[in-house]
Structure 1
Amino acid sequence: MTSSAAAVGIVALLVVPFTLTATAIASDPPPVVSREARIKDISSIEGIRDNQLVGYGIVVGLQGTGDSQQTTFPVQTLTSTLLRMGVSVPAASIRIQNLAAVFVAATLPPFAKPGTKLDITVSSAGDARSLEGGLLLMTPLYGADGKIYAQAQGPLVVGGYSVSVNGNIKQFNHPNTARVPLGAMVERGVPLELAGRKEFSLLLNDADFRSAEAMQKAINLELGRDAARVVDSRQIDLLVTNGEDIPALLAQVESVEVPIYPRAKVVVNERTGTVVIGGTVVLQPVSILHGGLAVNVVSEFQVSQPNAFSSGGTTQVVQQTRIDAQDKPVNRIELKQGATVDDLVRSLQTIGASARDVISILQAMKSAGALEAEVEVL
């Protein structure tokens, strides 16, 4: 006997905004919450930025956990490497599993000079089972312009392992990705001259006109002159006077603390059921009715045999279907004037709402105008 089951969940959600009385309408609006932050933590200087580097190389010294023979490009890479060293070996004659083709990634920080060492991340590009115990051979790292900016080489540090015995495999973390601390050396820096510049642009991480205005006033107050000018909600221009020490000026500006006004936001990840609600989210009076109807369809397959000594009978498979329905009672939540996010969370926990239910309720509250925040769905 075999059976199959299918469950269908139907959620009933009703969001009803309250009608405010004259007293509620006349109440003072909630104060705008701000916090202090350093300019260097909420903005960046245009042009002073990191640059991504990437390269392709091979890892050797693996204990039979490298790429298999079905992956041809590691063997081709090894053949080219040996040829550059004066050793000519036909690719068809190479039969080894102690090497793996990898991609190498690194970040080139601003003002990096030749000789500066960088951390690198190495990831397998083939079907290698583990990079544990491997050595990355010299690999050039390229920038977006196709030029070589660093060279990488060194033993790998793997944060996991993979063991296979007689078809049984035990794996911990991700053994196909490793790091080499200070494994790359910069060969070419990105030129960036500060001397002689008359203007810099500060770029806010989160565009906001009020935060930009607050930053402008704080900078001008700190420097004692009109050095900052707001261009838009993200950019603030900083003027440099003749003969001014630019590194000292930027250090002074980045250390200034300014009030910022973060945007009210609710972040929802529907894949994992994670909901993050910011503390600046404002809730309006609302009544929420939440219930659900669960329908479970179960199919059982039974085998019908003909009677003994009967003629002409055949064995048949008969499907028996049973439908079970369960209607959950409607739960009610009331959020009055002045309710906070903590009140909402506590109320949802009280009625036993799951993460999926919370996501549906928040989206319905946004549609009903009871949630004054931006809902971002990941």
Structure 2
Amino acid sequence: MARQMLRRLTLVLALIVAAMPLPASAERVRDLGQFQSVRSNQLTGYGIVVGLDGSGDDNFAYLTQAMRGVSGRLGLQLPPGVNPALKNAAAVIITADLPAFAKPGQRIDVTVSTMGKAKSLRGGALIMTPLYGADGQVYAMAQGNLAVGGLGVSGKDGSKLTVNVPTVGRIADGASVEQAVVSNFDFSEVLRWNLFNADFLTMTRVRDAINAVYPGMARIEDGVTLALAMPPGADTRAELMANIEMLSVEPAERAARVVINSRTGTIVISSAVRLAPAAISHGSLVVRIDEDPLVVQPEPFSRGQTALEPSSTISASQQGSVVTGIGPGASLAEVVDALNALGASPADLVAILEGLKQAGSLTAELVII
């Protein structure tokens, strides 16, 4: 008897839990934005890759000038007017990201890309090159052997075969940090936190979540920035920042937006897109022109010449003429089903969505990139 009562009680509890509404999905603060002073910095530099198997820049003027500078630093002076014709070297641009709080002696990855006529960087080695920040200061030194994922070969008859991109390479841990970027996160009066995508409702919820744990700490400056009043000191602030980043916040629903890539025909529709009542008619007009020229032969012994007599056939057809209705407040799934029923291609969908926007039926922002 007791076992039966226990089973019934367990079943009732399971039904109650199943009937309860599921909590809304929440995200961590660290996934919604980042602190203003904690960011990476871009570095760039100009250098030379040597050791190529005849796939270099040859008579590229910038490469010749750079090689004269490199040889001069090594004590080798090239005579004036002598062109080294370096087919085994290539002029390159080096790019890298300097992480926040990177200290001298730490290693970072670099990407090396050709800037001249070099066909491939496979097997090359980068000569020591300084990497500069936006302020013109040297923050790292790059050097090392390149890892190239592409392959390019050519034949004497002009035929070529290229796999991936052989003119771009990468050096893992290829640069050594020489100077740290000064950060004021530990002594500034106010530490700012920036939202990735501007939204006042999400910003308000982040402020409330922080103030619920640390009363009066956070205040909103605009739709992106949140000002945090924190005590000075790196140790104290690091602990507070870690705790704030792990707070859970339910972000606002994403804005209704339709993004169209006009180059590839890719269309992305957010879940908040709704349509007012509308009717769509879509059809494609296909015009076909066939050329079938006739060969006309002259009579025997007439001294005439063989000629081609043009013969063209033109036909036109209307395909896919369908009218589809969309009810009020149609959801994303209903919009997709209606457009699929028309049999529209990605290029046709662009025209349909633009027409719905102009008619006032599409309640979403239309972004064409």
Distance 1:205 1:34, change over 3 A: farther
Give yes or no for the alignment of 1:325 onto 2:307: no
1:149-164 aligned at under 5 Å gives the runs 149-164=139-154
Query: 2:104: which partner in 1?
Result: 114
Give the direction of change, closer, same or farther, for the CA distance of 1:61–1:325 in structure 2 (3 Å limit).
Answer: same
Which structure: greater strand fraction?
Answer: 1
Kept in 1: contact 2:188–2:232 (CA 8 A): no
Give the alignment partner of residue 350 of structure 1, picking from 341, 350, 362.
341
Query: 1:44 Cα deviation (Å)?
Result: 2.1
Pair 1:165 & 2:165 matched: no
Letter in 2 for 1:73: Y
1:43 corresponding residue in structure 2: 33
Q: Distance in 2 between matches of 1:308 and 1:79?
A: 76
Inter-partner Cα distance in structure 2 for 1:193 and 1:161: 46
Deviation per CA, 1:167-189: give whole Å up to 9, x if none: 33221100000100110111111
Q: CA RMSD in A?
A: 2.4
User: How do 1:1-378 residues align onto structure 2 when only pairs under 5 Å count?
Assistant: 35-69=25-59, 71-90=60-79, 92-167=82-157, 168-223=159-214, 225-241=215-231, 245-261=236-252, 262-298=254-290, 319-378=310-369
Pick which of 269-278 and 252-261 moved more: 252-261
**Higher RCO, 1 vs 2 (CA within 8 Å, ≥6 residues apart):** 1
Normalized against structure 1, the TM-score is what?
Answer: 0.84
CA contact (8 A) 1:222 1:256 kept: no
Structure 1 distance, partners of 2:350, 2:295, is: 44
Deviation at 1:228, TM superposition (A): 1.0
> Unaligned 5+ residue runs, structure 2?
1-22
Residues 62-118 of structure 1: per-residue CA shift (max 9 Å, x gap):
11111133x222122112211111111236242331111110000111111111211
Alpha-carbon displacement from aligned partner over 1:139-192 (angstroms, at most 9, x marks no partner)? 111111111111000000111111223333221100000100110111111111
**TM-score (ref. length: structure 2):** 0.85
Counterpart-to-counterpart distance in 1, 2:264 and 2:74: 51
Larger deviation, residues 329-338 vs 297-306: 297-306
Distance change >3 Å, CA 267–CA 325, structure 1 → 2: same
Whole-angstrom CA distance in 1 between matches of 2:232 and 2:140: 36
5+ residue gaps, structure 1: 1-32
Render the CA deviation track for 1:289-324: whole Å, top value 9, x for unaligned.
11122223455666767656558x788776544432
The secondary structure found in structure 2 opposite 1:133 is coil
3-state SS of 1:327 partner: strand
More helix by share: 2
The count of corresponding residues between Structure 1 and Structure 2 is: 343
Identity of aligned residues (%): 38
CA distances 1:196-215 after superposition (whole Å, capped 9, x unpaired): 32211211111111111111
- Structure 1 residues 197, 72: CA separation in 2 closer, same or farther (over 3 Å shift)? closer
Q: Displacement, 1:193?
A: 2.8
Please give the alpha-carbon distance, in whole angstroms, between the structure 2 residues aligned to 1:351 and 1:273. 17
